[in-house]
């Protein structure tokens, strides 16, 4: 059983905190966290427009704070989920020798959406489109945990 799941994006203020909040709301009992491969926003809450879009669907992200992904996360989590291929590549650069933790794309859990990444709403400004995809992937992930 996968019980500790880490969601990772670039800044840890849009996609991965949203994924964490949406997945947590499904009440699987899994331990969850999120992190960014970049350290630009460490200590900050999720981006305001993402918080607003999430809250409109009932997800309160206001208590989350950004942190940077680190090598120790490979030992702390059973599964690490990146939002795009760049996240996956950046995560893999920190994998300790001999570590076998599963690192996958979050969109693997939403095959019906036909997407190979979660488009970054920090750039696209499509916060609801990102949340639509995140909700489907979160339900798919919950069905496997
Ligand atoms: P995220 O989006 O990776 O989904 O949190 C971003 C947020 C901020 C920046 C880039 C991506 N930034 O360049 O500050």
The pLDDT value recorded for residue 1 is 54
Residue nearest ligand 1's atom 11 by CA: 11
Distance from residue 5's CA to the centre of ligand 1 (Å):
20
Nearest-angstrom CA–CA distance, 127 and 56: 11
Report the chain (145 residues): mean pLDDT per 10 consecutive residues: 90 98 98 98 98 98 98 98 98 98 98 98 98 98 94
Ligand 1 binding pocket (C-beta < 6 A) is: 9-15, 40, 120, 122
Whichever domain contains 27, its CATH number is 3.40.50.2300
Question: Backbone phi, then psi, for 35, in 5-degree steps?
Answer: -155, 160
Percent of the chain with pLDDT over 70: 99
Rounded CA separation 35/10 (Å)? 8
CA of 90 to the centre of ligand 1 (A): 14
What was the pLDDT predicted at 2?
60
Residues 6+ apart with CB under 8 A from 43: 65, 66, 67
The domain in which residue 50 lies consists of 4-142
Contact 10, 38 (CB under 8 A): yes
Domain count, the chain: 1
Q: Which residues carry out catalysis? A: 9, 15, 120
| CA-wise closest residue to 87 among 109, 71, 105, 74 | 105
């Amino acid at each position: 059983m996968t019980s500790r799941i880490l969601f990772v994006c670039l800044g840890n203020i849009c996609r991965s905190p949203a994924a964490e909040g949406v997945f947590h709301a499904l009440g699987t009992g899994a331990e969850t966290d999120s992190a960014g491969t970049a350290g630009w926003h460490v200590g900050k809450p999720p981006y305001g427009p993402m918080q607003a879009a999430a809250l409109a669907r009932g997800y309160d992200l206001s208590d989350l704070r950004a942190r940077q992904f680190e090598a120790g996360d490979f030992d702390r989590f059973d599964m690490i989920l990146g939002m795009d291929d760049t996240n996956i590549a950046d995560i893999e650069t920190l994998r300790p020798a001999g570590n076998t933790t599963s690192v996958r794309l979050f969109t693997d859990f939403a095959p019906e959406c036909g997407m190979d990444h979660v488009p970054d709403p920090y750039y696209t400004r499509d916060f609801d489109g990102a949340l639509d995809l995140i909700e489907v992937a979160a339900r798919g992930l919950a069905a496997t945990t």
